[in-house]
């Protein structure tokens, strides 16, 4: 009897461990099957391409959030940083008639500056990460509203009694709208970013330093790691990825929309926290973040095809975020 009870317990633990490791993958497969049954067009190449294209921007932002989570921080400003990059890129092209190089460098520079500003408030001023990055988010929102006077940036827009003479050049639009061998270019950018971030974090000494910094700050310091430096790197990297996401967003929609990146914040945070549950990692990880973005993209696309109103989709986003947060923090306590 004792052996039978022990075997049942071991079996239950095995099933529980399998669900923990592969539960999210099972959910992805399950919702994919469900939506493909409900709508015949769901599994078409065009729709899959649309899903991957839409999650590419969220994934870029989520990778940045993942870096800050790894060092036991958090970046609430990624959506606003993407918006600032969107506006900056559009202004450089439409208002100042610049070429591709400057239209890429200026938004990226803005993202790096935002990352340094976050690091200054969180690390030097020692504000809680949520409050520090929230403050920066408001600063960025005010800055972009000041730059644009609350208006979107588009070709032929009225400006000082005349119209803007600049335009979104084809080489810039290709970033968000082009394709290579039938694969959307934003998807290629996303996959390359995921691979580079994964290899850096999992296969290099510097990547392990990030994890050591977040795992035990004091132990990392005693091991000779410059903790504050790696925390600063994490926020700067987060700003960089948010800026790249903003560039892709601008080139995709062909306008510089004010606060265009703000709705992406919750999706990016949810994707990063879903990453905790992937493969029993119990830590932020880029592959988990990527699959979390895929899950969110599939659900939102499927709901859209079912004609669920966009405002009701926010309810689903909120529920996904609550589930991801509850699961990740439950696992933290169980360590």
Domain 27-333 CATH (choose: 1.10.3470, 3.40.50, 3.90.25, 1.10.540): 1.10.3470
State yes or no: pLDDT of 23 exceeds 70: no
Check whether 29 has a pLDDT greater than 70: yes
Q: Chain-wide mean pLDDT for the chain?
A: 86
The predicted-structure confidence for 46-80, as pLDDT tens digits, reads as follows: 899 989 998 999 999 999 999 999 999 999 999 99
pTM: 0.88
Average pLDDT over residues 306-317: 81
Separation between Cα atoms, residue 237 and residue 197, nearest integer Å? 10
User: Which of the four pLDDT bands, split at 50, 70 and 90, describes residue 17?
Assistant: low
Q: Which residue has the tokens 């903003």?
A: 246
pLDDT the model gives residue 96: 86
Place of tokens 């050591």: 212
- Report percent pLDDT > 70 for the chain: 87
pLDDT band of residue 13 (cuts 50, 70, 90) is: very low
Q: How far apart are CA 40 and CA 47, in angstroms?
A: 11
pLDDT of 8 above 80: no
**pLDDT of 312:** 80
Residue 278 near residue 327 (C-beta atoms within 8 A):
no
Note the pLDDT of residue 82. Answer: 94
User: pLDDT tens across 258-288, in order?
Assistant: 888 888 898 898 888 887 766 655 788 899 8
At 322 the pLDDT is: 77
Which region, left, alpha or beta, applies to residue 17 given φ > 0 means left and ψ of -120 to 50 means alpha?
Answer: alpha
Q: What is the pLDDT of residue 146?
A: 86
38-42, 164-168, 187-191, 268-272: range with highest mean pLDDT:
187-191
**Do 278 and 24 touch, CB atoms closer than 8 A?**
yes
Domain boundaries, the chain: 27-333
pLDDT band for position 239 (cuts 50, 70, 90): very high
pLDDT of residue 197: 96
Mean pLDDT of 2-25: 57
């Amino acid at each position: 009897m004792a052996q039978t009870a022990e075997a049942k317990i071991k079996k239950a633990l095995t099933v529980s461990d399998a669900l923990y490791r592969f539960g999210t993958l099972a959910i992805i497969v399950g919702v994919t099957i469900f939506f493909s049954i409900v709508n015949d067009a769901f599994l078409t190449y065009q729709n899959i391409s649309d899903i991957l294209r839409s999650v590419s921007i969220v994934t870029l932002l989520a990778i940045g959030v993942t870096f800050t989570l790894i060092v036991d921080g958090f970046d609430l400003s990624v959506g606003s940083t993407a918006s600032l990059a969107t506006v900056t890129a559009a202004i450089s092209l439409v208002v100042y008639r610049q070429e591709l190089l400057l239209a890429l460098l200026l938004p990226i520079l803005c993202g790096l500056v935002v990352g340094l500003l976050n690091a200054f408030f969180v690390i030097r001023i020692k504000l809680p990460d949520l409050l520090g990055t929230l403050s920066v988010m408001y600063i960025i929102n005010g800055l972009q509203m000041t730059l644009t006077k609350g208006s979107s940036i588009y070709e032929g827009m009225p400006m000082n009694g005349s119209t803007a003479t600049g335009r979104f050049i084809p080489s810039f639009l290709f970033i968000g709208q082009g394709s290579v061998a039938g694969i959307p270019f934003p998807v290629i950018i996303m996959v390359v970013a995921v691979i580079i971030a994964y290899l850096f974090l999992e296969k290099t000494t510097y990547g392990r330093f990030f994890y050591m910094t977040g795992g035990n700050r004091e132990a990392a310091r005693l091991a000779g790691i410059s903790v504050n430096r790696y925390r600063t790197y994490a926020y700067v990297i987060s700003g960089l990825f948010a800026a790249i996401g903003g560039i892709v967003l601008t080139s995709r929609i062909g306008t510089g929309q004010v606060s265009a990146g703000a709705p992406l914040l919750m999706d990016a945070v949810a994707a990063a926290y879903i990453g905790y549950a992937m493969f029993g990692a119990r830590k932020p990880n880029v592959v988990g973040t990527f699959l979390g973005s895929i899950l969110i993209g599939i659900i939102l696309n499927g709901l859209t095809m079912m004609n669920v109103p966009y405002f009701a989709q926010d309810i689903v986003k909120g529920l996904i975020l609550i589930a991801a947060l509850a699961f990740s923090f439950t696992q933290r306590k169980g360590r």
